[in-house]
């Protein structure tokens, strides 16, 4: 019996570090899920034809967030066209909720994101994140040739600014829809509003594929993109108000995720 107890103790001592590493990494994986949800907003603006969208037109979509086959959260997005002193403007709003409750671990995240586009240029951005009792607020605007950002995290404030000439797009843009043919590739300097830095991001149009949402078959581009922080595959299509993503699979340094559109009420290239 003493020998058996010694063996059990030895096994537990070996497993304990792995168990703690798994739970420690789970929080990062959940955070990446939050970033994944924010990635839905990557496809909203640059691809929008603001000159064809009429004032007051709206699009709404709902998404399920999965990690390793388990549904852990949801995302809702709203895009609307509106007049702004004669200029063409679009407003995007995204709400993310992730909730995980295990016997020995829990994780909760709520995020509200908003962005404004004027004449195909992202001119305003803000995000509020509440993560396990911690709050982070990010606000940004394009002003005098610079994108100015302020970050408030649990009462500590910092600021940063990026010259407009230092990036080609923000993560609220969708430059992959500018690719003209299947197989085309392009690399852009992207201002990542999630990680708050400029990164080189490579896009490749793999193929076109049908996806089914709400019983409708949607013609999507399948796009791979990659930068130093993440690697994703995206199924994306063009709507009347803006581009929406039907599915996205991603991988970061600490985990993987899947986003799937479950409902939309905009107009797409669809087959009945």
- Reported for 232-236, long-range contacts at CB under 8 A and 24+ positions apart, including other chains, are 232/39, 233/206, 234/43, 234/176, 235/209, 235/211, 236/43, 236/174, 236/176, 236/177
Range of the domain at 44: 14-178+187-200
Average pLDDT over residues 158-184: 91
Cα separations in angstroms, 130 against 133, 135, 150, 152, 242 = 6, 5, 17, 12, 28
Q: Which of 133, 163, 131 has the alpha carbon at shortest distance from 147? A: 163
CA angle, residues 38, 42, 47, in degrees to nearest 5? 155
- Tell me what pLDDT residue 206 has: 97
Among the listed residues 48, 61, 58, 52, the one whose alpha carbon sits nearest the alpha carbon of residue 79: 58
- Is residue 162 in a domain? yes
Lowest mean pLDDT of 38-47, 59-68, 253-262, name the range: 38-47
Is 2 a member of any domain? Answer: no
Q: pTM, whole model, 2 decimals?
A: 0.76
pLDDT at 55 over 70: no
Provide the pLDDT for residue 24.
46
Q: Which two tokens stand for residue 52?
A: 């064809």
In a domain, 160, yes or no: yes
Which residues are CB-neighbours of 180 under 8 A, at least 6 positions away? none
Provide the mean pLDDT of the chain. Answer: 78
Q: Is residue 78 part of a domain?
A: yes
* Beta strands at 185-192 and 169-170: parallel, antiparallel or unpaired: parallel
How does DSSP classify residue 137?
A: E
The answer to whether the CB of 91 falls within 8 A of the CB of 116 is yes
How many distinct structural domains can be found in the chain?
Answer: 1
Instruction: Tell me, yes or no, whether 255 lies in a domain.
Output: no
Specify if 97 maps to a domain. Answer: yes
Is 60 exceeded by the pLDDT of residue 11? no
pLDDT score at 80: 85
Q: What is the tens place of the pLDDT at every residue in 15-31?
A: 444 444 444 444 544 44
Identify whether 25 is part of a domain. Answer: yes
Residue 244 falls inside a structural domain = no
């Amino acid at each position: 019996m003493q020998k058996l107890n010694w063996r059990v103790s030895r096994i537990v001592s070996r497993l304990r570090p792995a168990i703690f590493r798994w739970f420690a990494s789970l929080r990062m994986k959940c955070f990446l899920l939050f970033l994944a949800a924010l990635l839905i907003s990557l496809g909203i603006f640059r691809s929008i034809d603001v000159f064809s969208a009429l004032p007051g037109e709206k699009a709404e979509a709902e998404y399920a967030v999965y990690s390793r086959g388990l549904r852990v959260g949801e995302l809702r997005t709203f895009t609307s066209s509106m007049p702004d002193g004669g200029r063409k403007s679009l407003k995007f709003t995204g709400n993310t909720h992730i909730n995980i409750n295990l016997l020995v671990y829990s994780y909760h995240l709520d995020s509200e994101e908003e962005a404004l586009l004027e004449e195909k240029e992202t001119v305003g951005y803000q995000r509020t994140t509440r993560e396990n009792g911690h709050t982070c607020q990010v606000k940004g605007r394009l002003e005098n040739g610079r994108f100015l950002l302020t970050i408030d995290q649990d009462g500590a404030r910092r600021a940063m600014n990026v010259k407009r000439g230092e990036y080609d797009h923000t993560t609220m843009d969708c430059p992959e829809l500018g690719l003209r043919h299947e197989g085309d590739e392009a690399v852009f300097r992207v201002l990542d509003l999630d990680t708050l830095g400029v990164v080189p991001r490579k896009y490749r149009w793999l193929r076109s594929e049908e996806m089914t949402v709400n019983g409708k078959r949607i013609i999507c581009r399948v796009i791979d993109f990659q930068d130093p922080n993440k690697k994703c595959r995206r199924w994306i299509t063009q709507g009347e108000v803006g581009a929406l993503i039907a599915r996205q699979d991603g991988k970061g340094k600490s985990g993987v995720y899947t986003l799937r559109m479950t409902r939309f009420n905009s107009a797409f290239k669809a087959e009945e």
